[in-house]
Structure 1
Amino acid sequence: MHSFCHMNGQGEVKLCAGLERLKKEHGPLREQKQRLFEQAQAIVGDKEGQNWKERLLALRENVQAFVNELDPHSQREEGVLFPMLAQYIGRTSGPIAVMEYEHDQANQRLASFLTKTAELPETVDCESAVALANEVIDAYHILAEHFMKEENVLFPMAERLLSDEEKEELSEKISQI
C-alpha cells in the first residue's frame, strides 16, 4: 500500500489531460475560497459590527456560488478518479479515505452554514455571527490543505499508477460531469 510519505519528493510530474483538468479547476476554486475566507474573517474580526444579518447574507450568497462550483469538481474526483485509483491503493484507508473524509468535512461545514443562514432572525448577535463565519473559515482551512495534498501527492500518484487507457477513460468520464 502506498502512503502519502512514500510518494513525496519524486519531482514534478507531468499530468495527463484529466488530472491536469482537475488540478486547473483548483485555481478558480482557490480564488473564490480566498474571498470567502476574507469575508468571513472580516465578520469575525469586527466585534462592534453592525448589520450582521446583511453581512452573513452576502457571505451566504458567495458560499452558495462557491458550492455550485465545488460540487461538480468533487463529483469528478469522487465519482471517477477515486474509484479508478482505489483499484491500486484501496479505498478504506490511506490517501483516498483521507480525501473523501476531507470532502465530507468541508461539505458539512459549508452545508451547515447555508442551512443556518437560510432563515436568520431579524437581529443577529455578534456571537452567532462569529460562529457562523467560523464554519466558512473551517471549510477554507480544510480545503486549502486538501487541494495541496491532491496537487502534490494524489494527482502525481494517479499519474504514475493509472494506465494510458485509464487516463483516457478518466478524461472522457470527467468531461461528462
Structure 2
Amino acid sequence: MEFSPCHMLQNGSVALCPALQQLVAEHGPLNEEKQALFDAAKQIGNNDEQSNWKEELLQLREKVTLFLSHLDPHSEREEGVLFPMMSKYIGNTTGPIAVMEYEHDQAKRNIAAFLEKTKMLDEEVNKEEAKELASYVINAYLILTEHFMKEENVLFPMAEQMLSDEEKEELAKHLM
C-alpha cells in the first residue's frame, strides 16, 4: 500500500494534501488584512465630532485596494483550478461550488462598489454617507469570513476526499 500525504487523522478530521493546505494557509494573512479593514470600516462615522470622513474613506480605499491585490490571486486559483476539478464530480450549478462562486461574486461586488463609489468623493462627505460607503467593506468582510470557514471546514476536506492523487498533484502545480 502506497503512503499518501493525504489521509484521515485519528480524530476523524481530514488531513489535507499540501496543495489544499496551501489554500488554507493563504487564509491566515488574508484574515489579518480583512480584520484590519473591518476594524477601520467600523470606525468610520462612529465619532460624533466633526471628522474628515473623506480622508478616512480614502485611507480605507488604499487598504482595500492592497487587500484585493492579495485576495484576487487566491480566488483565481480556486475558481480557475480547484472548483473546475471538483465540478467534474459534484457539478457547479447547485451545491457547494455554486455557493462558493456566488460568495466570491458577492464579496467582489461589495468591494467593487466601495472602490467605485469612493473614486470621486465630494469634499463634503457627511457622516451617513461615510457609514454607507464603509458598509460595503463590512459586508465583504462578513461574506468572506463565513466563506473562508466553509472552505476550511467543508469544501477543502470534501476536495481531499474526492480528488485523485493525480488531481492533487495537478492542483499543486497550479498553486506554485
TM-score (norm 1): 0.91
Unmatched runs of 5 consecutive residues or more in structure 1: 1-9
- Partner of 2:47 in structure 1? 46
- Partner of 2:133 in structure 1? 132
More moved, 119-128 vs 156-165? 119-128
How far residue 49 of structure 1 moved from its aligned partner, in angstroms, is 4.1
- Partner of 2:97 in structure 1? 96
Report if the CA contact (8 A) 2:45-2:53 is conserved.
Answer: no
How far residue 48 of structure 1 moved from its aligned partner, in angstroms, is 3.3
Return closer, same or farther for 1:47/1:90 CA change in 2, 3 Å cut-off.
Answer: farther
How far residue 173 of structure 1 moved from its aligned partner, in angstroms, is 1.3
Unmatched runs of 5 consecutive residues or more in structure 2: 1-10
Is the radius of gyration larger for structure 1 or structure 2?
A: 2
TM-score (norm 2): 0.92
How far residue 119 of structure 1 moved from its aligned partner, in angstroms, is 1.1
**Alpha-carbon distance in 1 for matches of 2:88, 2:127:** 49
**Alpha-carbon distance in 2 for matches of 1:46, 1:112:** 24
- Partner of 2:153 in structure 1? 152
- Partner of 2:170 in structure 1? 169
How far residue 171 of structure 1 moved from its aligned partner, in angstroms, is 0.5
Q: Per-residue CA shift, 1:3-57, capped at 9, x if unaligned?
A: xxxxxxx832111111111100000000000000000000142243410000000
How far residue 71 of structure 1 moved from its aligned partner, in angstroms, is 0.2
Report if the CA contact (8 A) 1:44-1:134 is conserved.
Answer: no
More moved, 91-100 vs 48-57? 48-57
* 1:18-97 equivalence runs, <5 A: 18-97=19-98
How far residue 123 of structure 1 moved from its aligned partner, in angstroms, is 1.6
Report if the CA contact (8 A) 1:85-1:162 is conserved.
Answer: yes
How far residue 174 of structure 1 moved from its aligned partner, in angstroms, is 2.2
Report the residue type matching 1:134 in the other structure.
Answer: S
Q: Per-residue CA shift, 1:149-176, capped at 9, x if unaligned?
A: 000000000000000000000010122x
- Partner of 2:120 in structure 1? 119
Matched, 1:11 2:12: yes
Structure with the larger RCO, 1 or 2 (CA within 8 Å, 6+ apart): 1
Report the residue type matching 1:157 in the other structure.
Answer: M
Report if the CA contact (8 A) 2:45-2:128 is conserved.
Answer: no
Aligned length: 166
Report the residue type matching 2:88 in the other structure.
Answer: Q
More moved, 12-21 vs 76-85? 12-21
Alignment identity in percent? Answer: 62
